[in-house]
Amino acid sequence: LASNRYDIQRGNFAKATQQDINYFKDILSSQSAVITDAEELIGSNTDWLRVVRGSGPVLLKPENTEQVSKIMQYCNNRNLAVVPQGGKTGLVGGGVPVFDEIILSTSRMNNVIDVDKISGTLVCQPGCILQELEDRLDSDNFILPYDLGARGSCHIGGNLSTNAGGIRLVRYGSLHGSVLGVEAVLADGTVLDCMSTCRKDNTGYDLKQLFIGSEGTLGIITKVAIALAQKPRAQCVALIGCNNFENVKQVFSSARKDLCEYLSACEFMDSKIMSLVENHLKLTNPVQTSSFYVLIEASGSSEQYCKTALLDFLETLIESKVIKEGIVADNSVQIKDVWALRERVLEACQHDGYVFKYDVSLPLRVFYNIVDDLRSRLGSQAKSIGGYGHIGDGNLHINITCEEYNKQLEKAIEPYIFEWIGKYKGSVSAEHGMGFIKRKYMNYSKSEAAYNTMKGIKQLLDPKRRMMDI
Ligand code: FAD
Ligand code: MLT
Ligand code: ZN
């Protein structure tokens, strides 16, 4: 349980009674929308990484905004704490209870409300699964302006709530730029309508932005409007081997210059990470063993240009001795295989043992130094130390594994790693959020004034702190 490992500050909240359960059954008018069976609740109480487990006594599955509003209003009157839950793929323990919060799942709020094919906008409920949205939009030649390896399970509401980054941010930017409208239910049940499908709206404060990346601390997202991107006609992917990190940086800056608007992803992984993927998942690395690997995706309107540009790009890099070797995948099976090497890193690390996960932003000039530094600091205390991530966004994932959870190792890593990041004005959470696990390290990336302003907003929207605290 979370309370065994973490210092849980449970507020003075009420505990759900049978009378409360009866009320929820009444308003949701379906037995299957109110789950109280202890066995069934284990999954909803446990996070994806299996490091946080709470004891939420009931899981609610409303279908619409009105039901969410009634639940929140009732819970406000009864002083019950609530945690919103999407696809439960979050990596910082945010989407599950840490004590006995009521779990409000968006899994049945999964309707697409409108796809406007002329303006290229989507309006939907928050529980739509990313992969299902991608499949549905495909025939109309649209894609969502973001994508991530958790697409098979994560919800669009969860994606907004965490301001998910993912593998295409280098091209389409963050959700703060592409979300057009949000409807949210506040902690007291008020429905805050910030829905719009217009790209431009400068009528005062842009309140919807508060819900993008606030991880369910201010309210529950119940509707989303988002600007879609055109599906590229052509896509090619290169996997490149590099001798050192300087060359990785050169590959990135050359890709921006040479591939220009065709560059749609720039990811990297080090040799440790590649060896975990090869050994634990039995995937095949198609290039010769190297210290680093870079995955470059090019996509756009011309199939002919896409492949030629990528091949020319590789040739120039080989000629100038920046890279050792690279391969280009241009059919869908090969492309999927190359992407699997990168997208299944997390799964490979999970097979290696207990994983201490860090998701940081750092300036590229010192980007990988932190991994080398941690290797010399931790020595044989750790089983594997690997770096990978979205180098195109300056976002590094550092995974440190050991046989089982080890307090001493944790103490050797933290707060050292956060101090390191603070020194270079990086971010202690580039894309996964603060959740329950990382929120205590906010001060390494937020000034006192900024944090106090956040607390003021929290106080305004959730004065009883019945949703996750910040
Ligand atoms: P959950 O895990 O259910 O919830 C996440 C947080 O949002 C919680 O705090 C929860 O309370 C809150 N929340 C959920 N729904 C709502 C709502 N409707 N209203 C208000 N709050 C809500 N993340 C990235 O950024 N980039 C990646 O590339 C990436 N790749 C991943 C790959 C894998 C294999 C996995 C397992 C995870 C990955 N993640 C990545 C992390 C995770 O997928 C994202 O954070 C995702 O956006 C979470 O969505 P979810 O629906 O699973 O949300
Ligand atoms: C990724 O980039 O693969 C995800 O953010 C998940 C992870 O941290 O491994
Ligand atoms: Zn990531």
User: Are residue 244 and residue 282 in the same domain, yes or no?
Assistant: yes
Residue 461 lies in a domain: no
Atom of ligand 2 nearest to the CA of 167: 2
Does a structural domain hold residue 269? Answer: yes
Q: Assess whether 222 and 240 both reside in one domain.
A: no
| In a shared domain, residues 98 and 119 | no
Query: Is residue 464, in this structure, part of any structural domain at all?
Result: no
357 part of a folded domain: yes
The answer to whether 63 touches 106, Cβ cutoff 8 Å, is no
229-230 and 142-143 as β-strands: parallel, antiparallel, unpaired? antiparallel
Q: How far is the CA of 389 from the centre of ligand 3 (A)?
A: 6
Which amino acid belongs to residue 3?
Answer: S
99 lies in the same domain as 207: no
Q: How many domains does the chain have?
A: 4
Q: Is 419 exposed, middle or buried (0-12, 13-18, 19+ CB in 10 A)?
A: exposed
Does residue 430 lie in a domain region? yes
pLDDT at residue 2 tops 80: no
How many Å lie between the centroid of ligand 3 and the Cα of residue 432? 8
Pair (123, 100) in one structural domain: no
Confidence at 419, pLDDT banded by 50, 70, 90: very high
Quick one: which of 100, 302, 292, 263 has its CA closest to 171? 263
Please report the pLDDT score of residue 3 as a whole number: 74
Domain boundary among the residues 318, 343, 368 is at 343
CA 397 / ligand 1 centre spacing (Å): 16
User: CA-to-CA distance for 378 and 366, rounded, in angstroms?
Assistant: 19
Q: 99 and 67 in one domain? A: yes
Same domain membership, residue 45 and residue 72: yes
Predicted pLDDT at 451: 97
Residues near ligand 1 (Cβ within 6 A): 48, 83-91, 94-95, 106, 126, 148-150, 154-155, 157-159, 161-162, 164-167, 215-216, 220-221, 346, 431-432, 435
pLDDT band at 24 (very low <50, low <70, confident <90, very high): very high
ipTM higher than 0.95? yes
CATH code of the domain in which 159 resides:
3.30.465.10
Atom of ligand 1 nearest to the CA of 109: 18
Domain-located, residue 462: no
Segment 83-108 shows an average pLDDT of 98
Q: Would you say the CB of residue 342 lies under 6 angstroms from ligand 2?
A: no
| pLDDT, tens only, 420-460 | 999 999 999 999 999 999 999 999 999 999 999 999 999 99
- Tell me: do 284 and 210 sit in the same domain: no
- Cα angle 154-157-163, degrees, rounded to a multiple of 5: 85
| Domain end among 286, 312, 343 | 343
3-class SS of residue 281: helix
pLDDT of residue 208: 98
CATH of the domain at 292: 3.30.70.2190
Instruction: Reduce the secondary structure of 224-250 to three states and give it as a string.
Output: EEEECEECCCEEEEEEEEECCHHHHHH
Q: Tell me which of 51, 345, 349, 431 to substitute to probe ligand 2's pocket, judged by most ligand atoms within 8 Å of the beta carbon.
A: 345
Look at residue 219 and tell me if it is in a domain.
yes
pLDDT band at 9 (very low <50, low <70, confident <90, very high): confident
- Looking at the DSSP bridge assignments, the partners of residue 241 are 293, 325
Residue closest to 457 by CA, chosen among 214, 195, 223, 224: 214
Query: Does 217 share its domain with 246?
Result: no
Nearest ligand, measured from the Cα of 432: 1
339 and 381 share one domain: no
Q: Which of 203, 230, 257 is the last residue of a domain?
A: 230
Backbone angle region of 339, left / alpha / beta, with phi > 0 → left and psi within -120 to 50 → alpha: alpha
Domain extent for 272: 234-343
211 and 123: one domain? yes
For residue 245, being part of any structural domain is answered with yes
**Res. 145: pLDDT tops 90:** yes
CATH number of the domain enclosing 424? 3.30.70.2740
Mean pLDDT of 267-274: 98
Q: From CA 402, how far away is CA 355, in angstroms rounded?
A: 7
Residues 165 and 83 occupy one common structural domain: no
